[in-house]
Amino acid sequence: MTGAILRLEELSFSYARDAALVLEDLSLDLPRGGITALLGANGAGKSTLLFLCLGWLRPRAGLVLLHDRPLAQYSRSETGRQMALVPQREHITFDYSVLEYVLLGRVPYLAPLSQPGSADYTIAYSSLERVGLAALARRPVQTLSGGERQLALIARALAQQPRLLLLDEPTSHLDLHNKANLVALVRALHRDGVSIVLTTHEPELAAALATHVVLLDQGRVLCSGPASETLTSEHLGQLYRIPIEVVEFAGRRVVLWS
């Protein structure tokens, strides 16, 4: 449980060569076995940061180190076994069944010309069970509701059996029941030793879940550390540029804003 699973060193990034920097000189350690929550206003660079971690975007300057080794030194399938991304939403053109869709999480474990076997199906099905979608395994993905689709995406990421799970606003489409389930799931994965990074617009979720919080403001780290130190009225007010009060209620942090 020591050290960083992913280390970002002086990252700078812009979407076009002459465009303004989205992230500037950003250095960050994502703790191994921790739950890191990334908070920031819309457009602060949260999703961009996840894509950089994943290697999908390449930094203009700086390095991303996975297990202290530059990301570029890993093969594609190796990173696919190490890291999984759950995007905010995903467009699905064709009518895959939920199980077929989740099975795609086994891609990094299979050589390009091979076919998934029954072990892969078992893993895919268990992932569905874990997010509570097992009963929908044979339904077409396109018939799922927004929240169910998000759970299917999470199941696909679990089928990758990653060491690091990147969740981009995982609760954005979920009702309270599924949100509670997701929190329980993330905690269970955390107990299994999976490192987790999630972006969120909900400071309460971060406070309830994260071992480590990073506040991202206009491409820079405003502050980072345990929730008790970072999620303060002052910091959040500075981040969202409105008056914010953080109060303790029944042992939880509650954010009041007006």
Partner 1 sequence: MNGDPAFLADAAVATQEKVHRRRRQILIVLFSSLLVVFAGSLFLGRFPAYRFLAGSHSDADALAQRLVWNLRLPRCIVAVAAGMALASAGMIFQTIFANPLVEPGLLSVSQGAAFGAAFSIVAISSSAWIVQSCAALCAFAGLGASYLLARSIRYGGWVLRLILAGIAVSAMFSAGLGILKYMADPLKELPEITFWLLGSLAGMSWTETLSILPAVALGMAYMLAMRWRINVLSLSDEAAHSLGVSVQRERMLLLVAAVVPTAAVISAAGMIGWVGLMVPHIGRRMFGADTRFALPATILLGGMFTLLCDDLARMLLPGEIPLGILTSFAGALVFLILISSKGVRWQR
| Site of interaction with partner 1 (CB under 8 A) | 51, 54-56, 76-81, 83-85, 87, 90-97, 99-100, 104-105, 107-108, 110, 112-116, 118, 121-122, 125-126, 129, 134, 137-138, 140, 142, 160, 166
Compare residues 46 and 235 and give the one whose CB is closer to partner 1. Answer: 46
Smallest distance, Å, CB 45 to partner 1?
16
Smallest distance, Å, CB 54 to partner 1?
6
Compare residues 160 and 200 and give the one whose CB is closer to partner 1. Answer: 160
Compare residues 80 and 170 and give the one whose CB is closer to partner 1. Answer: 80
Compare residues 51 and 240 and give the one whose CB is closer to partner 1. Answer: 51
Smallest distance, Å, CB 205 to partner 1?
22
CB 69 within 8 A of CB 53: no
CB 128 within 8 A of CB 98: yes
Compare residues 56 and 257 and give the one whose CB is closer to partner 1. Answer: 56
* Residue 184 phi, psi (nearest 5): -65, -40
Smallest distance, Å, CB 223 to partner 1?
28
Compare residues 91 and 241 and give the one whose CB is closer to partner 1. Answer: 91
Smallest distance, Å, CB 83 to partner 1?
7
Smallest distance, Å, CB 22 to partner 1?
16
Find, among 2, 1, 26, the residue nearest to 12 by Cα.
26
Smallest distance, Å, CB 169 to partner 1?
15
CB 102 within 8 A of CB 145: no
Compare residues 90 and 175 and give the one whose CB is closer to partner 1. Answer: 90
Residues facing residue 249 across a β-bridge: 252
Question: Token pair of 21, please?
Answer: 């920097």
Type of residue found at 97: S
